[in-house]
Amino acid sequence: MALTQAKVDRVTCEGASWTWIADDGRRGLGSGFGLRVYQGGTRSYALRYRAAGRLRFYTIGKANILTLAQARERARDLLVRIGDGEDPAADRNRLRDAETFGKKTTDGTPGRAEGEITPERLRAEADALLELAEQQQREQQETRFAAIDLLKRADELERER
């Protein structure tokens, strides 16, 4: 079924906790792009993909905030990253875990960080963050190179005129 903004706005949940509605895949996104509709009425755009042999879902954003076109554009960007071997859901989870590492809940117990906070654990978390930062830096460099290539091609076309 091809998703349209009208369908996104009126579809309801038919499953136990949520329903997956895949796009038709005709816009270069394959069948991995779609809409999750929850029993409470919340609608979120998501991308379904495989990484490291596992089926993953990456929530792109809520349908009451993003338009269908905006969500499709974000899905295209994610598919490029996935094609380059990245796992956006794992990256997001790693970053979220690092941000909450060692924080205490309101009752004083450790939050996501279970057990004693040791220098070794802090170093491991720092290494994970540095790896993520390096990966983002590589992506930025690749984007710069792509932009430079486009500018060079534009100059070539102007000279050919």
- For 79-129, give the secondary structure using H, E and C: HHHHHCCCCHHHHHHHHHHHHCCCCECCCCCECCCCCCCCHHHHHHHHHHH
Is residue 49 exposed (0-12), middle (13-18) or buried (19+ Cβ within 10 Å)?
buried
The DSSP output letter for 53 is T
Between 4 and 64, residue with greater pLDDT: 64
> Which pLDDT belongs to residue 113?
46
Nearest to 35 by CA among 25, 49, 20, 24: 20
Total-model pTM: 0.56
* Residue 46 · residue 34 · CB < 8 Å: yes
pLDDT number for residue 123: 79
Which pLDDT value is given to residue 40?
85
pLDDT digits (tens, 9 = 90+) for 79-135: 888 888 888 888 888 777 766 665 555 555 444 445 567 777 777 778 788 888 888
pLDDT in tens, 82-92: 888 888 888 88
Mean pLDDT of the residues in the chain: 80
Rg of the chain taking only CA atoms, in angstroms:
20
Reported as a single tens digit per residue, the pLDDT across 138-151 is 888 888 888 888 89
- Largest Cα–Cα separation, the chain: 71
Residue 84: per-residue pLDDT = 87
